[in-house]
Homo-oligomer: A and B are copies of this chain.
Amino acid sequence: MATLAPKLSFKEQMHQARERAILQTACDLLGAKSFDAMTMDDVAGGVGIAKASLYKHFGSKEELCCAAMVEVLHLVNDFITTLEPTLPPVTKLRAVVRWSLERQMAGEIPLLPSHNSSLRAVLMSNQDYAGSVERLSDTLGAWIVEAQAEGVLDPELPPLVVLYTLYARACDTVAGLLLESGLYQREDIIELVLRTCFDGLRSR
């Protein structure tokens, strides 16, 4: 396994470190602006290397941004494996949305690109990305069905509607706007957003 590779030359370590720095910078930038607005000069400047050097690591802007998005999906899939499997499914669903909200409030790249982003078309034809999305959707979908069977989530809602609603809340900008307003603390905002998502706006 790769994690057991005993020796990595200094050169290779530097190479990987640079690549991680590039990906991290791209993540930050994509959290702040759209794919179209982000430039390779931005990335190069952020990392502190020449633009031409970027192209030694990633063949194109699309390739770099794909890699960044795939990285995020791997992170969330990793996070999911750390969740205690015996937890109630709705608790696990909340945890995933919370994870995404925390990431987003930290200014990092959202889980999914917005619908009208130019990046979407590129991502959808990327096998690694599509596979990760499918894996994530399958996991969340199973939890949704479980939670509905338990009667915890509304069984009358189609699971696909629930899934998309969770994605939307995990990526929407309410949390960021509330943070900007300066009226609430991070933790309060996360609780409020989770509450409006699961319990709705109406009184009980």
Contacts and interface: CB of A to CB of B under 8 A. Distances in A.
Interface of A: 31-34, 36-37, 90, 114-118, 151-155, 157-158, 160-162, 164-168, 172-174, 176-178, 181, 183-184, 192-193, 195-204
Given A198-B200, A199-B202, A37 B118 contact: yes
Contacts of A199: 154, 200, 202
A141 B23 CA distance: 41
Contact of A197 (B116, B153, B200): B200
Given A161-B174, A165-B174, A165-B196, 19 more contacts: A32-B116, A34-B36, A34-B116, A37-B116, A152-B203, A154-B202, A154-B204, A162-B196, A162-B201, A164-B178, A165-B193, A165-B201, A167-B174, A168-B168, A172-B172, A197-B200, A197-B201, A199-B200, A200-B202
Closest 7 interchain pairs by CB?
A200-B200, A36-B36, A115-B173, A199-B200, A168-B172, A164-B174, A168-B174
A160 B172 contact: no
A28 to B, nearest CB: 12
Contacts of A154: 199-204
Contact of A157 (B151, B167, B201): B201
B204 A157 contact: no
A110 to B, nearest CB: 9
A114 B173 CA distance: 8
